[in-house]
Amino acid sequence: METKVYEINPESIEKDELKAPAEVLKNGGTVAFPTETVYGLGANALDEKAVKKIFEAKGRPSDNPLIVHISKIEEIDPLVEEIPENAKKIMEKFWPGPITIILKRSHRIPDVITAGLDTVAIRMPSHPIANKLIEMSGVPVAAPSANLSGKPSPTKAEHVIHDLKGKVDVIISGGSCEVGLESTVVDATGSIPMILRPGGVTKEHLEEIFEKVEVDQAIEEGGMDLIPKSPGMKYTHYSPKAEVVIIAGAVEKVVEEINQLKKEKEKLGLRVGIMCTDETKKSYKEGVVISMGSRKDVATIANSLFATLRQFDEKEVDIIYAESIEQKLLGHAVMNRMIKAAGHHVIKIGR
């Protein structure tokens, strides 16, 4: 398949720049495009054949639901049975933006989108390219992350080109993604909102508008046996080629442990990667050392996390030791992705 690549500046979109990609979506093709979270791979959500092309291009399991993207509020009505008050509050506060809402699906949503569930995940992206592209296509757009299934999500166009060129119709190159992690997913079908996937909109943000917010235990437990109520709940994700091991504990002890583990692995002839932070980078004298960002500004870690994992692939390391970060606010979402990348392999160090 020939893949057309369009370079578009999100800060100054020309009048007809998105016309051709929008037509591809409308006519059953696949288009990769930037959002504020990560790059997405889109197809007409109401066209079952088009949606199946997403699964084929990514190698994505068919029992993993997709998110449906819209460009404005009124586009949601034909896609759902009802919009509860909890959902309306979330939309008013956080849309457009990096949050996905689970609602009861209408008959118009194909089973291939929801993996047979009676609910559908819907999001309104704030990224100017994503929002305008969906509007111009005239259709709701199903779009998971634009990467090969299981690999780190793409936050730059070159990541998408590496994974999907020759597998999709169009790739829109529109710069780096702002947030760097997939959207928060919230189930709004019950009386109390429940977070099914942490993201840029945190539990604390939601607690500003709700008295109580629950977190699905599957976020911590993971596992292969659960029925995914949300995209990204069931399968191993974000994994580079090398094994990832998270070292958790007091920062000084973590650094000491990683340095010791590095020596042991290097004696065995292995190439070791160290995934650290700005504050600790100088504590590692040798090895492939890459900082995720600053502990003082977790948003920098969120923004670069997936790109950092991909860098280790380029360095051809055999094993990656990653520092844990504090699990509060955005740190919950960052650690959720790191733990998935590590296949839940975490070594806890005492103080």
- Evaluate if residue 227 carries a pLDDT over 50: no
- Evaluate if residue 226 carries a pLDDT over 90: no
Strands 346-348 and 272-276: unpaired
Please give the pLDDT value at position 80.
97
Mean pLDDT of 104-122: 95
Sign of CA dihedral 218, 82, 33, 291: negative
- 129's tokens: 């390219």
How far apart CA 129 and CA 31 sit, in angstroms, is 12
Selection from 19, 154, 181, 174 nearest residue 97 by Cα = 181
Q: With residue 337 as reference, give the H or E element that holds it.
A: helix 330-341
- 347's tokens: 């070594």
- Structural domains of the chain sorted by starting position, each given as residue range(s) with its CATH number in brackets: 4-221 (3.90.870.10), 243-348 (3.40.50.11030)
Please give the pLDDT value at position 222.
45
pLDDT in tens, 82-104: 999 999 999 999 999 999 999 99
Mean pLDDT of 241-268: 95
Token pair 């870690």 is at which residue? Answer: 301
pLDDT in tens, 9-47: 999 999 899 999 999 999 999 999 999 999 999 999 999
Instruction: Give phi and psi for 264, each to the nearest 5.
Output: -65, -45
Q: Mean pLDDT score of the chain, rounded to an integer?
A: 93
- Evaluate if residue 238 carries a pLDDT over 90: no
How far apart CA 151 and CA 201 sit, in angstroms, is 23
Please give the pLDDT value at position 286.
80
- Evaluate if residue 249 carries a pLDDT over 80: yes
| Amino acid found at 210 | F
- Evaluate if residue 351 carries a pLDDT over 80: no
Q: Which residues have C-beta within 8 Å of that of residue 169, sequence separation ≥ 6? A: 1, 3, 4, 24, 29, 30, 31
Q: For 42, what's the count of Cα atoms within 13 Å in the CB-facing half-sphere?
A: 33
Please give the pLDDT value at position 140.
98
